[in-house]
Amino acid sequence: MTSRKKIFSRFGLERALKISANRSMLSSRLFDIYRIIGVRAGMVKRFFFIMDKGMGFVKKETGFKKENKMTTTDRESIEAALKTKGLKPIFNPGNHKCFGCSPKNPYGLKMTFFTDDESVFSRVTVPEHLCGWNNLVHGGVISTLLDEIMSWSAIYLFKKVILTKTMTVDFLKPVFIGERLQLEGRIHERTGEREAVMEGRLLNPSGEICARSEAVFALISPRLSRKMGILDEALLKDFEPLIGPI
Q: Decide: 223 and 230 in contact? Cβ < 8 Å.
A: no
Q: Are residues 164 and 214 in the same domain?
A: yes
Q: Are residues 23 and 103 in the same domain?
A: no
What percent of the chain is modeled with pLDDT above 70? 65
DSSP-H helix ranges across 56-180: 72-83, 139-158
- Spatial distance between the Cα atoms of 185 and 191, rounded to a whole number of angstroms: 17
Q: Are residues 161 and 42 in the same domain?
A: no
CA distances from residue 246 to 152, 188, 196, 237, 239 in whole angstroms, order as listed: 19, 27, 21, 8, 10
* Closest listed residue to residue 201, CA positions, set 188, 218, 219, 217: 188
- The tally of domains found in the chain comes to 2
Looking at 58, 83, 106, which one is the last position of a domain? 58
Q: Residue 174 sits in which domain range? A: 72-243
- Spatial distance between the Cα atoms of 194 and 214, rounded to a whole number of angstroms: 17
Q: Are residues 144 and 215 in the same domain?
A: yes
* Closest listed residue to residue 222, CA positions, set 243, 202, 194: 243
For residue 242, give the 3-state DSSP assignment: helix
Q: Is 212 exposed, middle or buried (0-12, 13-18, 19+ CB in 10 A)?
A: middle
CA geometry: angle 113, 115, 121, nearest 5 deg: 50
CATH number for position 85: 3.10.129.10
Please give the pLDDT value at position 6. 45
Q: Are residues 153 and 45 in the same domain?
A: no
Q: Are residues 130 and 204 in the same domain?
A: yes
Considering the domain boundaries, does residue 155 fall inside one?
yes
Considering the domain boundaries, does residue 193 fall inside one?
yes
pLDDT tens, 147-203? 999 999 999 999 999 999 999 999 999 999 999 999 999 999 999 999 999 999 999
pLDDT tens, 27-59? 445 445 444 444 344 443 343 334 444 433 333
Considering the domain boundaries, does residue 35 fall inside one?
yes
pLDDT band at 117 (very low <50, low <70, confident <90, very high): very high
